[in-house]
Each structure stands twice: as C-alpha cells, then as structure tokens.
Amino acid sequence: MRIQPKLNKTVTSFLEEKDIIFKASKTKASHFCFPEIITKRSKEIKSKFPEIDFYIAHKATKSLGLLKIVKENNLNIDVSSENELKNALKLKFKKIGCSGPKNDSYLNLAIKNDCLISIDSIEELNRINNKKSTILIRISDPLVSNRNLIKNKSKFGILKDELDEVYKILKKNKNITLKGFHFHKDGFDPGMKAGIIEYFLEETLRARNLGFFPDVINLGGGIKTQSFENPNEWHNYIKQIQEKIIQKEEINETWNEQNFGISLNSKNKIEGREKAQQPATNIDSKEFISQILNSKSKHKITIRQLLTECNVKLILEPGQSFFYDSGISVLPVIGSKKTVSGNLLVLNVNMFTLSSRMFEPLEDPILLTKNKKRQKFDCFLAGNLCREDDIIMNRKIEFNTKPKNKDLLVFLNTGAYKQSYEASNPQLQDSPNKYLALKINNKWKIKNDI
C-alpha cells in the first residue's frame, strides 16, 4: 500500500536537480535543509498571529543555518540544554526561553543572560538563590474543567498542589519575577489546549490577588500539522492491520508483524487504534492554532478575547510543526537480499540516521535511480548495523523499479527531529553530510550547514 508524503513546492523543485543530489550523496547519506521554507513560515506565522510570542524549539533541529533564519525573522527561541543556550547566544537571539531540567551551569548561564526560565521543580527554584531572574512555573498536571489531566502523566514541572509553596518562596525571594505559567505535552486537541489556557488564566488571576503580576501563558509545542499527502491512505493502512489482528491473520505488511500499537484486549476489543491513527491529520498548524484561539471559553467569549481581557500574552514553542518540511534526507542503497519475511533493501545508514526509534518514518521514500527498467519490487528497509532491530521503517514498501547499489532513497519531511535527535555514529559508521539547499538567481546550490 502506498502512503505518499506531503510535498513542499520548494523541495519538489530541488528534487529535479538529480546531479547535485547524486554528487552530494556519492559516498554517504545527506541531510538537506531549506532556509527558504523557514523564511516563508516565519513570516507567515508572525503576520497571522501577531498576538502570539513564538519561541521556536531548538531541540527539533541542530541546523544553525535554519536557526539563523529564525533569528533574522525576529522570532524567539526555546532551548532545553546548556549547549542549545550557547547556540542561541552565539546567534544573538534577543528573547530566549530555557526549559527542561537544569544543572547548575545551565541555570546560571540562563540567569546571567536574562532568559525566561521555565522552572521544572521547587528545588530548581531554590537553586536560583534569589538571583535576579524572570521565571515561568511549569505545571505538570493542569486541570481542565474539573477534568484532571493526570492520566497523561508528565515528568516535567511541579504539581499544581505545590503552587502555594512556590508563592511562599517567591514572597521571600523578591529578585525573582514570576512572569507566568508553562505547560507542554503532545497529543491534545485544540479544545483541550484551550481548556488548559483557561485553567492557567484562573491561576494567573489567583497569583495576581496574591500580589504577583504574571502576564504570560506558555503552552509549549505539540501543534498538529499534516505530513501525509492524503491522510486517508494512512487510515486505510491502519484499518487493514486492524482487520488482520481481528481475524488473527499474519501481518505480512510489517517487519516482524509490528502492529503500530494496535492489539486485542482480554474482551476481544481492539485497543490502540486512535493512537495509531493520530499521525494522519488533515489540519494544518495555522488552522490548529486558530482553532485554539477561536475556542469558546466558559465565559462565552473566545480564548483570544479572554487573553486580551486578562492582559495575558500567549507563548507557543513549535518544533515539529515549524521545521518538519524544511528538511529531506537522502539515503544511499547498498543492495537487496531475501529473508524469511520477504525482500530486504539494505541502506548505507542506520536506525539513528532518521531517529527511527523515536519517529518511525511512515510515508514512502522517493527512489532516485538511473535504472530505466520497470520492475515491481516490495521490500523492508534495513540499516548497516550489527543489530537485528536496525530497521529503518517497519512498513513494507513498494517500488516500480528495483533499487540497486548506489541508488538513493529520499525521505521527505525529516526537518524536525528526524535528521538530528538521535544522531550518533555506532560502529564508527559515517555520519551524514549536512547541507543547506539554496536557490540563488533561480539556480539551486548547496553549501555545508554551519
């Protein structure tokens, strides 16, 4: 079954430059990033949502070339480690948010540079030691209309029940300014995110009554966007897997009968389908954000109006939805062979090249080959490590031409996390080239990423 990735027009134009791509990836894999896509997205979100302060999540990319564009477009940055903070300082970002657990040197560097520090624990707050600083309190268990989100457990932030203790500490530590509240978690729909904002607005008013003046709510990332050309292709695929599970048939469409988390429970009912369907959405990130802002609050006005009335600024920290289509990855083929589960296409990369454990590629790659002979070929994609689990994607792929040694597979939409999050070089395997792809005077050029 084919599952087509959503194509960005800029990338489509670059894919016509086969000579450049083959030359660049002659000896090893290459990741390409497209600054033009980030310029366009930065301008778009700034003009569509002037009421939101965007702190773009550094963790989604290690491309300084792309982050430079983020800075040039006057967006802010969210960092989650000391080294990410050093990058942000090197690129001269004016407004830097610091999240994640912080050791002393990360915390002190954040204080020294006047960053907006998202406090992860009461101990972390105490370690600031009343140095002059501006903070957000990250809450791990916000309440939405009396519905506790605790079942979506989070390891980040403090418990809402600890807020009174926080306020007591802040009363004694007058150099620490409480700027607002922070929450990040994937997997919530716009209605639920609106509910979380309402909860934080109530807490904001409570804190103001206690003599603080928080005026920021940071809702993190986790903004959905569409990366499938046709989300129904994924829905149909999952239906097919589900049917096989119900019928107790062999799932030969996936490596080692992977089931994307779908199973039959003890009452013979299917479980996990909703989660498996989740990656396929037809809502784009701008629409997702608009739906949050336009949601009706329990005061009968929209979240947008409520934020304005309470004089509170919303911060979002998009990573995935901001960078996803700004990168592609080109993986060289070593060759093919047979296994008991079917054909295997072995690539000169490994499971860490596309962070496959964390973000398994779901969409079809594009084959670049000079071979003109048509020959249907289905196979699984494996890497070059001495590990049985070094599988690039669990889904069986169909090609119209049999891929051969030195052909290339292009994975689209690898710009967020996939290119870099798990990047490593086990067995001293080569790390991929990193390029910026730039259209200069209507001609494509590539240069090494910084």
Which residues of this chain interact with ligand PLP, rule CB under 6 A? 57, 59-60, 78, 99, 184, 186, 220-223, 317-321
Residue 16 CA to residue 164 CA, distance in Å, equals 60
Residue 403 CA to residue 302 CA, distance in Å, equals 53
- CB nearer to ligand PLP: give 184 or 434: 184
SS3 113: coil
- CB nearer to ligand PLP: give 322 or 399: 322
Minimum distance between the CB of residue 152 and ligand PLP, rounded to whole angstroms?
14
Please state the φ and ψ torsions of residue 322, each to the nearest 5 degrees: -85, -40
- CB nearer to ligand PLP: give 84 or 364: 84
- CB nearer to ligand PLP: give 201 or 219: 219
Minimum distance between the CB of residue 318 and ligand PLP, rounded to whole angstroms?
5
- CB nearer to ligand PLP: give 57 or 306: 57
Minimum distance between the CB of residue 417 and ligand PLP, rounded to whole angstroms?
7
Minimum distance between the CB of residue 89 and ligand PLP, rounded to whole angstroms?
19
Residues 6+ apart with CB under 8 A from 107: 117, 124, 127, 128
Helix (H) or strand (E) holding 346: strand 342-347
- CB nearer to ligand PLP: give 319 or 403: 319
Residues 6+ apart with CB under 8 A from 446: 20, 24, 32, 435, 436, 437, 438
Minimum distance between the CB of residue 32 and ligand PLP, rounded to whole angstroms?
20
Cβ atoms 54, 71 nearer than 8 A:
no
Beta strand extents in 272-421 (DSSP E only): 313-316, 327-339, 342-347, 366-368, 377-382, 391-399, 408-411
Q: Which residue is nearest to ligand PLP (CB)?
A: 221
Minimum distance between the CB of residue 228 and ligand PLP, rounded to whole angstroms?
17
Tokens, residue 405: 């040694």
Strand pairing category for 143-144 and 147-148: antiparallel
Residue 392 CA to residue 380 CA, distance in Å, equals 8
- CB nearer to ligand PLP: give 180 or 220: 220
Where residue 143 falls (left for φ over 0; alpha for ψ -120 to 50; beta otherwise) is beta
Cβ atoms 295, 302 nearer than 8 A:
yes
Minimum distance between the CB of residue 107 and ligand PLP, rounded to whole angstroms?
16
Cβ atoms 110, 116 nearer than 8 A:
no
